[in-house]
Structures are given as structure tokens and as C-alpha cells.
């Protein structure tokens, strides 16, 4: 017998672990941190928007004289916060939560596998992601601060920006490598490691969502990698991929060889950028479907249509990217094509949401916390989707482009939409991950104020956008007279955002408190669910299942006739 | 650690019946799909920039076509050698495997040397990536391709060297790994054929 070094075994078990569940939790904690960090960035910006030019009380001095002299925010600092808010929320917050955390934790469990197909590659993905996030944070300590070019990094501006942009490109490069590895891992896992009997039509919708998400990540991210190479060469080797001839910078002709095209970046970026929207949404739809099926105690209506929809959506999402670039003068024929495909891609999402709504019909609904978040997700996400239609049609997009309407639209999709689904997922799978329940009272204290504040934050943005308030004005629009009759909303939005931050405190207390002191669950299947992750011990050990798993039926066999209980797990032969 | 992981993940070596693939072969096809998207985006960039340009050099006069053509032959030959190496391994002839593997590696290094000669010629004429968009694209595409070659060389040296110890544990597993290295190597080869046609000839 050899004596094991306790430090070594701790590192092996919790830090450099190749167990998919540990990696999922690592992803979860890291990206929840980034979610909070990105939220703090926007709360600082909201002060400047509500009270432009006034010194920030209490916290104004900690950002230094270079950023906020006398507590008053400089425009450059505002731009940096905005760019990093977008980057961090999308690439380090929401995507790794949906795909990295929930995907890693649940996909092998739900298909009855003992681990991912490539456990050590999985660990590598996480650590590359971690380094990328670290680089992004590090850029705040550069002499010139982080990048201030917006999360889309459009050239020519980005080509001439200070060093923060180079760090951003390296960070993005690592994020792309990391998601490439995880997407390969997830696809191979789903195809190769399904338990006996787990045919594709018996896969839970969550797994379908993860599968399509993985394909989108696999095929949509590499073009941005190519674009990032080109921008890096523009910045470091003096090439002109994105710099046209005769470009003026600061009133002088720029000393570059020219011949490039700034639109090239926009097309490559949005070729990633639009599938990325579905990378954000599909895991959320998967989570909500699981929770709604479980808490209505019935099969999901139109489950087959949902599966076909999500596959169709995956394909079409690759040919809609140019609805982000209607204003670049790319020509009416191309515009006509992309607005047609954009209208088409909205159909499958509507089918999925409608199927979930119909599922509620006639169900005996349990209004527990995960279900509350899932129920709030449906209308909020639907609202976000519907407000997107005017942006998909060129005629209405032209006046709305780059206004607060756009901000309102996609935040409705992501914040009360996807983030609510993520909260729902945390409350739902917390008992499986830790063996303890989260507190109900604190959960309600988290849910209701957050729901109200979300709407007070994002609905006025639609109103402001329709008045023509531009999205990137660091003074909130004070210098434009025609915006003055809607600017009072800025104060209301800011206060709602800060109150919403306070409403997250119960969640944080609940999350960490319940790990230590939460009420213990006395069953491996506390929600009486049918899918395979509940057939494991709580919390699942390395290797997940204690006995071989065979699957006998589809994922949502609730309230079957002739069954003694109202749920029939996939792995139990008798109903 | 190796053993427990081995038990946890099935189809590491043998193919799954309904997909007809073992895990790593599935993964390499997915990886190559993403590589096609990476090179595809750069090829599209080439098309867009060339179509939109006011003047474009006559590529076949600007670049060294004989060296490029020779390099194509070298790379296709090395691609053939890696198949011979794989089939020798399947026939359990390890000596022959090593011979063809080293030939593959040598040809790849010769390819890189010729590429280096071309680069040196450009630099001597003061032709750098920043000189023109065409040169920027040329250096980006061939440079990225050269990085893929270097990666392939490292993998191939690993399998002919320390990696071949796996053969003592499980012969089929090692054959699979060489097959995957071969698939990757063919891909790098095909990319070069497209690069040569597009950059040197068109």
C-alpha cells in the first residue's frame, strides 16, 4: 500500500479532474463569476447613463484618475466597459454556462454514459477556457486598459486600437480552441456512448439541444478564428486585410498598403455571430423543456416537431448572418435573400415555444422554483423573439439599427430568457449535484424582484430605441435634443438594474448556503423525474451509474395509463 | 488512472455497430470538418478581396511555380507513404512501418525546406505580408498550412518513436491512432493542392 499525498489527491479530484461532472461544476462556478463580473461592469455604466457627467458617489475613486478623474467617467472608459460587458457576458458567461456547465454535467448522465468520450480532452477544454478568461481579466490591468471597440471588434477602428485589442484577439482565439474541443467531445459522446436502448428518438430534448449546439460551435467558430488571424496580422505585421486604400485616420491618409475590405470582418464575425445566438438559446430551451415536462407531469406536446425544428434551425442559422449588416450597402438582392431566410429561421423557434406552451394545457402544474423560472422564460423569450422580427426585415431595420431597440430585443432573449432558464436549471439540478435542496423562501425572494426588474430594465429600452436613441452614446443621448423626451427612462432603468443586483444577493446566499446547510434530499429522484440523470446515486460518483443501464422508452413518460405512479423512468422496464 | 478511464469509455478501439466508427475516428472527422470551415473562411476572404481589388499581380509570374509544383508532388508522395506505413502496421510488419513513417516525415521536412526557400526569396526582394493584400493572403494561407505540417510532423514522430510503445499494450489501438494521423495528413495534403491551384496557378 502506498501512502497517498492528500494535497495531490485533492488536486486530482477537484481541480485537475477528468470527471465530466467536476468539469461541469468548474465551468459553472467560473462562468457564474463572469456573469456577475459582466453585470458589475454594466452597473458602473448605468451610473453614467442615468447621471451623465456627475461624479459617482462612494465607488467613483477606485477606478483611478485615468478612467474616472474625480469620479466622472471618461468616454474611453465607458467604451471599454461596454466592450468587455458584451464579450464577457456572451463568451465567458452565458455560453459556458449553457454548454460548458449544464452540457458537461448532464449530457453523459442523460444518455446513460459513464463519462465523456474524451475525458482528458474535456479537462483541457476547461483549462484553455480558464486561461482565456484570465487573459480577458488581465487586459483590465494593461496601461491602456481593455479593448474599447465593442464586442464585435469592427475594423478599421479595431486595427488601430491599443494593445487591449491584441489581448482580446488572443483571448477569443483560446475560447474558440476550447469550444472546438468541447463540441467534438459532446458530439462523439452523444453518438457513441448512448446506453443500450437509447435510440435517437428516445433522447431527451436537452440532449438534442446540446447536439445541435455542438455542431454550431464546431462549424461556426472557425471562420472567426480565421478572421482573428487576419486582424492579428493587421495589427502586428502591418497587413491591410481590413483596411481599404486611401483610408483616413485622424485626418491623415493612413500609412498602409490598402486594398483590404472592412466588410470582410463583419461577414466573418457574423458568420459566427448568428449561429452563436442559437448556441446561447438551444441549451436554455433544453433546460426549460426538461423542467416543464417534469412539472406538468405529462409528455411534451409535439415532441417530434420540436426535434425536427431544432435540426432545421441548426441548418438555417448558417444562412442568416447578413441581417446584421443591412446598413452596409450590400445590395438589395442580398438583402432580400437574408431577410427571407431570417423570417424562415424564426418559424422553428416559434414551433418549439408553442409546443412548450401547449404542454402546459391540461397539465397538473407544480409551481416549484424551477418551474416558476421556466414559466417566466416562455413569455419573456417569446417577447424577445417577436421584437426581433422588425430587425430581420430591412425596411424596419434601417431606422432601428444600432438603437436601444436592438439592445432591448436581444437582452429580452438573453437576460429574462436564457439566464432565467439557467437559474431554473440551477434550482432544478442542484439536489442532484449536491444532495441538498435550495431554500424556497430565498428562491422566491430572488425570483419575483428579478422578474419585475428585468422588465423595467429592458422594456423602456424598446421605447427609447423607437425614438431613435443610439446604443453607444456615453452620455445616454443628452447632447441630442430630439432624444430628450425619453431620456428620463435612463434613470428608471439604472435604478431597476441596481435593485436587480440586490435581488441577486438572496440567490448567492442560497447557492452557497445550501451547499453547506441546505435541506438534505431523501431520494435520488426528488422531482420524480423520468430521465436517466435521476437513476444515479446522489451526488453521482465518478462513473455515474452503479449498475448497467438499459433504456425502455422515450424521455417524458409521465402519467401513463395503467401505471401505479405518475412517472415511468426510462430505465425501468415496467411502467 | 489509465485503466479506470479505459473501463469508463467504450468504443475506444472497436467500432460501435450503429455508427460504424470508433470514438477517435469520429472525432477526427469532426475536427477536419471544422478545419474545412477555417480554411474555407480564408479562401472566401481571398475571393472577396481579389474580386474587389483594383489590381492583382499575375500570380504565376509572382510566385515560384516550379518549386510549388515540386512541393505538391513531395506532399502527395508523403501522403502515399503514410498509407503504406498504416498497411504495413496492419500486416504486423513494424520495421516496414517505421521505414515508411520516416519517409513521410522526411518528405514533409523537405516540403518545409522548399517553402522556406520560397519565403527567403520573397524576403530578399523585400516582399513582406504588409507589401500588398495578395502577399498578406499568400503568407497567411501558406503559413497556416505550414503550421499544420509542423503539427503533423510532431504527431508522426511521436507515433514512430515513443508513441509506438502503445503497440505493446494493444496493437489495434495503435493501428487506429496511425490511421487517424493518416487522415489528418491527407487533409493537410488536400489543402495544399487547393492552395497551390489558387495561389500559384489561377
Nearest in space to A51 (alpha carbons), one of A372, A492, A423, A530: A492
Please determine, for residue B3, whether its predicted confidence score (pLDDT) is greater than 50: no
| Portion 153-212 of A in contact with B at CB < 8 A | 180, 183-185, 187-188, 191-193
- The answer, yes or no, to whether residue B198 has pLDDT greater than 80, is yes
Residue ranges of domains in chain A: 22-244+260-535
Q: Which residue in the set B4, B130, B137 is minimally distant from A237, CB to CB?
A: B130
Please tell me the predicted confidence (pLDDT) of residue B91.
96
A252 secondary structure, DSSP code = E
Contact B130 A240 (CB under 8 A): yes
- pLDDT tens profile B56-91: 999 998 999 999 999 999 999 999 999 999 999 999
Using CA atoms, how far apart are residues A533 and A110, in angstroms rounded to an integer?
5
What would the mean pLDDT of A424-428 be, rounded to a whole number?
Answer: 97
- CA gap A291, A497 in Å, rounded: 28
- Other beta carbons within 10 angstroms of residue B120's beta carbon come to 10
pLDDT score recorded for residue A11? 81
Q: Cβ neighbours of residue B124 under 8 Å, at least 6 residues apart?
A: none
- Going by pLDDT thresholds of 50, 70 and 90, the confidence category of residue A4 is low
pLDDT tens-digit profile of A147-156?
A: 999 999 999 9
Q: What is the predicted pLDDT for the residue at A13? A: 80
Rounded CA separation A95/A280 (Å): 5
Question: Has residue A9 got a pLDDT over 90?
Answer: no
Q: Note the helical H segments in A237-297.
A: 262-296
Cell readout for A388 is 426581433
pLDDT band at B6 (very low <50, low <70, confident <90, very high): low
How wide is the angle at C-alpha A335 spanned by C-alphas A331 and A341, nearest 5°?
155
Q: What is the pLDDT of residue A8?
A: 74
- Find the range with the poorest average confidence among A6-15, A286-295, A470-479: A6-15
Per-position DSSP letters for B10-46, written without gaps between them: --SSSPPTTT---HHHHHHHHHHHHHHHHHHHHHHHH
Does the pLDDT of residue A6 top 90, yes or no? no
Please tell me the distance from the alpha carbon of residue B48 to that of residue B71, in angstroms, as a whole number.
27
- The candidate with the shortest Cα–Cα distance to A550, out of A114, A204, A112, is A112
Give CA angle at B61 (A230, B41), nearest 5°.
25
Question: In the prediction, which pLDDT does A14 show?
Answer: 83
pLDDT digits (tens, 9 = 90+) for A387-404: 999 999 999 999 999 999
- Name the 3-class secondary structure at A249: strand
Q: Rounded to whole angstroms, how far apart are CA atoms A134 and A104?
A: 21
Q: Using DSSP bridges, classify how beta strands A252-253 and A248-249 pair: parallel, antiparallel or unpaired.
A: antiparallel
Please tell me the distance in Å from B135's CA to the nearest CA on chain A. 9
Chain A interface includes B64 (CB < 8 A) = no
Distances (CA, A) of B156 to A208, B99, B153, B172: 36, 12, 5, 17
Determine the average pLDDT of the residues in A514-539.
Answer: 94
Residues 6+ apart with CB under 8 A from A64: none
Question: From the centroid of its chain, how far is CA B38?
Answer: 14
Name the E strands within A193-322: 248-249, 252-253
The whole-number pLDDT of residue A258 equals 87
Q: What is the mean pLDDT of residues A345-361?
A: 95
Cell of B8: 469508463
Q: B45: closest CA among A87, A291, A206, A239? A: A239
How far apart are the C-alpha atoms of A539 and B77, rounded to whole Å? Answer: 54
Residue A233 and residue B33: Cβ atoms within 8 Å? Answer: no
Say which of B30, B41, B54 has its CB closest to residue A187: B30
Mean pLDDT of A486-502: 96
CA–CA distance from A406 to each of A237, A462, A476 (Å)?
A: 36, 8, 15
The number of distinct structural domains making up chain B is 1
N- to C-terminal Cα separation, chain A:
47
Q: Mean of the pLDDT values across residues B164-177?
A: 93
For the ranges A6-10, A14-18, A198-202, the maximum mean pLDDT occurs at A198-202
pTM listed for this prediction? 0.95
Q: A436 forms bridges with which residues in the sheet? A: A520
Kindly list the residues from chain A whose CB atom is less than 8 angstroms away from the CB atom of residue B51: none
The CA–CA distances, whole Å, from A408 to A281, A378, A404, A469, B177 equal: 16, 17, 6, 12, 50
pLDDT band at A250 (very low <50, low <70, confident <90, very high): confident
Calculate what percentage of chain B has a pLDDT beyond 70.
Answer: 97
Residue A79 burial class via C-beta count within 10 angstroms: exposed 0-12, middle 13-18, buried 19 and up: buried
A113, A438, A427, A433: which is closest to A291 by C-alpha?
A: A427
Give CA–CA dist B198/A218, Å, rounded: 26
Cβ-contact A322, A264 below 8 angstroms: no
Q: Which residue reads 470514438 in cell numbers?
A: B23
Give the contacts of A266 (CB within 8 A, at least 6 positions apart): A152, A154, A324, A325, A328
Which chain B positions have a beta carbon within 8 Å of A543's beta carbon? 4, 8
The answer to which of A49-58, A59-68, B125-134 has the lowest mean pLDDT is A59-68
Model confidence band, residue B4 (pLDDT cutoffs 50, 70, 90): low
Gap between the terminal Cα atoms of chain B: 53
pLDDT at A2: 47
Whole-angstrom distance, CA of residue A226 vs CA of residue A10: 39
Residues 6 or more apart whose Cβ sits within 8 Å of residue A6: none
What is the mean pLDDT of the segment spanning A97-119? Answer: 96
**CA A404 and chain centroid, separation:** 20
Structural domain span for residue B192:
2-201
Number of other CB atoms surrounding residue A135 within 10 Å = 17
Distance between B22 CA and the closest CA of chain A, angstroms:
8
Asked whether B135 and B122 are in contact (CB, 8 A), the reply is: yes
> What is the per-residue pLDDT for A1?
38
At A138, phi and psi to the nearest 5? -60, -35
pLDDT at B1: 41
Of B153, B151, B142, B137, nearest to B191 (Cα)? Answer: B142
Distances (CA, A) of B61 to A71, A394, B65: 61, 45, 8
Calculate the average pLDDT of chain B. 94
* Yes or no: domain A22-244+260-535 corresponds to CATH 1.10.10.10: no
Specify the 3-state DSSP secondary structure of A470: strand
Give me the pLDDT at residue A58, please: 84
- CB-based contacts of A196: which residues, under 8 Å, 6+ apart? A548, A549, A550, A551
Question: What CATH number is attached to the domain comprising B165?
Answer: 1.20.120.80
- How far A238 CA sits from the closest chain B CA (Å)? 5
Nearest by CB to residue A261, choosing from B26, B31, B52, is: B52
Task: Say what the pLDDT of residue A65 is.
Answer: 85
The rounded percent of chain A whose pLDDT value lies above 70 is 99
- Give B-chain residues touching A237 at CB under 8 angstroms: 128-130, 136
Contacts of A220 in chain B (CB under 8 A): 37
Q: Are B37 and A220 in contact (CB < 8 Å)?
A: yes
Give the separation between CA A90 and CA A84, rounded to whole angstroms: 10
Q: Is A268 on the interface with B (CB under 8 A)?
A: yes
d(CA A160, CA B178): 45
Amino acid at each position: 500500500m502506498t501512502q497517498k499525498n492528500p494535497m495531490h489527491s485533492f488536486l486530482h479530484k477537484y481541480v485537475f479532474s477528468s470527471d465530466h461532472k467536476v468539469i461541469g461544476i468548474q465551468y459553472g462556478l467560473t462562468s457564474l463569476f463572469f456573469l456577475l463580473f459582466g453585470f458589475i461592469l454594466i452597473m458602473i455604466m448605468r451610473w453614467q447613463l442615468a447621471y451623465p457627467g456627475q461624479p459617482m458617489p462612494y465607488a467613483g475613486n477606485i477606478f483611478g484618475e485615468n478612467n474616472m478623474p474625480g469620479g466622472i467617467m471618461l468616454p474611453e472608459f465607458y467604451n471599454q466597459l461596454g466592450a468587455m460587458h458584451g464579450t464577457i457576458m456572451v463568451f465567458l458567461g452565458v455560453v459556458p454556462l449553457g454548454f460548458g456547465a449544464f452540457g458537461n454535467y448532464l449530457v453523459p448522465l442523460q444518455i446513460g454514459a459513464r463519462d465523456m468520450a474524451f475525458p482528458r480532452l474535456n479537462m483541457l477544454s476547461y483549462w484553455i477556457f480558464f486561461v482565456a478568461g484570465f487573459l480577458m481579466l488581465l487586459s483590465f490591468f494593461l496601461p491602456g486598459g481593455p479593448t474599447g471597440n465593442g464586442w464585435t471588434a469592427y475594423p478599421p477602428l479595431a486595427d488601430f486600437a491599443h494593445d487591449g485589442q491584441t489581448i482580446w484577439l488572443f483571448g477569443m482565439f483560446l475560447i474558440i480552441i476550447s469550444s472546438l474541443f468541447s463540441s467534438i467531445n459532446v458530439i462523439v459522446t452523444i453518438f457513441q456512448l448512448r446506453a443500450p436502448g437509447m435510440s435517437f428518438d428516445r433522447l431527451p430534448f436537452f440532449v438534442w439541444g446540446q447536439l445541435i449546439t455542438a455542431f454550431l460551435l464546431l462549424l461556426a467558430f472557425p471562420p472567426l478564428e480565421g478572421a482573428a488571424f487576419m486582424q492579428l496580422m493587421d495589427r502586428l505585421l502591418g497587413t491591410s486585410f481590413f483596411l481599404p486604400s486611401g483610408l483616413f485616420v485622424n485626418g491623415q491618409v493612413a500609412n498602409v498598403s490598402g486594398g483590404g475590405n472592412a466588410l470582410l470582418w463583419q461577414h466573418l464575425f457574423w458568420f459566427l455571430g448568428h449561429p452563436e445566438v442559437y448556441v446561447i438559446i438551444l441549451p436554455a430551451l433544453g433546460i426549460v423543456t426538461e423542467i416543464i415536462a417534469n412539472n406538468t407531469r405529462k409528455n411534451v406536446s409535439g415532441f417530434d416537431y420540436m426535434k425536427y425544428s431544432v435540426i432545421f434551425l441548426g441548418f438555417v442559422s448558417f444562412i442568416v448572418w447578413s441581417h446584421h449588416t443591412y446598413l452596409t450597402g450590400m445590395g438589395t438582392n442580398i438583402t432580400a435573400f437574408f431577410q427571407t431566410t431570417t423570417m424562415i429561421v424564426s418559424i422553428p423557434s416559434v414551433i418549439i415555444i408553442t409546443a412548450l406552451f401547449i404542454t402546459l394545457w391540461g397539465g397538473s402544474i407544480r409551481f416549484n422554483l424551477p418551474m416558476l423560472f421556466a414559466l417566466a422564460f416562455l413569455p419573456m423569450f417569446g417577447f424577445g423573439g417577436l421584437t426581433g422580427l422588425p430587425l430581420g426585415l430591412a425596411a424596419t431595420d434601417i431606422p432601428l439599427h444600432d438603437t436601444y431597440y436592438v439592445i432591448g430585443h436581444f437582452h429580452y432573449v438573453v437576460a429574462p430568457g436564457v439566464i432565467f432558464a439557467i437559474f431554473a436549471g440551477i434550482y432544478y439540478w442542484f439536489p442532484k449535484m449536491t444532495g441538498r435542496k435550495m431554500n424556497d423562501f430565498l428562491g422566491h425572494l430572488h425570483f419575483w424582484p428579478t422578474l419585475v426588474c428585468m422588465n423595467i430594465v429592458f422594456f423602456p429600452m424598446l421605447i427609447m430605441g423607437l425614438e431613435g436613441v443610439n446604443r453607444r452614446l456615453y452620455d445616454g443621448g443628452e447632447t441630442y435634443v430630439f432624444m430628450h423626451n425619453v431620456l428620463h427612462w435612463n434613470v428608471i432603468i439604472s435604478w431597476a438594474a441596481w435593485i436587480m443586483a440586490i435581488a441577486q444577493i438572496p440567490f448567492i446566499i442560497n447557492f452557497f448556503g445550501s451547499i453547506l446547510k441546505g435541506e438534505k434530499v431523501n431520494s435520488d429522484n426528488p422531482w420524480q423525474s423520468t430521465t436517466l440523470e435521476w437513476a444515479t446515486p446522489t451526488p453521482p460518483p465518478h462513473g455515474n451509474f452503479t449498475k448497467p443501464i438499459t433504456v425502455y422508452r422515450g424521455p417524458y413518460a409521465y402519467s401513463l395509463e395503467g401505471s401505479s405512479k405518475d412517472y415511468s423512468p426510462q430505465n425501468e422496464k415496467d411502467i | 488512472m489509465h485503466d479506470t478511464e479505459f473501463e469508463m469509455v467504450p468504443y475506444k478501439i472497436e467500432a460501435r455497430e450503429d455508427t460504424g466508427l470508433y470514438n477517435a475516428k469520429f472525432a477526427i472527422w469532426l475536427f477536419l470538418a471544422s478545419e474545412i470551415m477555417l480554411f474555407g473562411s480564408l479562401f472566401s476572404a481571398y475571393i472577396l478581396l481579389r474580386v474587389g481589388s483594383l489590381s492583382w499581380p499575375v500570380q504565376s509570374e509572382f510566385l515560384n511555380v516550379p518549386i510549388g509544383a515540386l512541393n505538391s508532388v513531395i506532399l502527395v508522395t508523403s501522403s502515399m507513404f503514410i498509407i503504406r506505413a498504416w498497411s504495413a502496421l496492419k500486416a504486423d510488419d513494424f520495421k516496414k512501418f517505421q521505414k515508411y513513417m520516416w519517409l513521410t516525415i522526411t518528405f514533409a521536412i523537405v516540403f518545409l525546406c522548399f517553402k522556406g526557400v520560397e519565403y527567403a526569396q520573397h524576403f530578399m526582394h523585400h516582399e513582406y505580408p504588409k507589401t500588398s493584400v495578395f502577399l498578406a493572403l499568400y503568407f497567411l494561407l501558406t503559413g497556416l498550412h505550414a503550421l499544420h505540417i509542423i503539427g503533423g510532423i510532431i504527431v508522426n514522430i511521436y507515433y514512430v518513436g515513443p508513441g509506438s510503445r502503445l503497440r505493446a499494450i494493444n496493437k489495434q489501438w495503435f493501428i487506429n491512432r496511425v490511421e487517424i494521423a493518416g487522415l489528418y495528413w491527407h487533409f493537410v495534403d488536400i489543402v495544399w493542392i487547393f492552395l497551390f491551384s489558387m495561389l500559384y496557378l489561377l
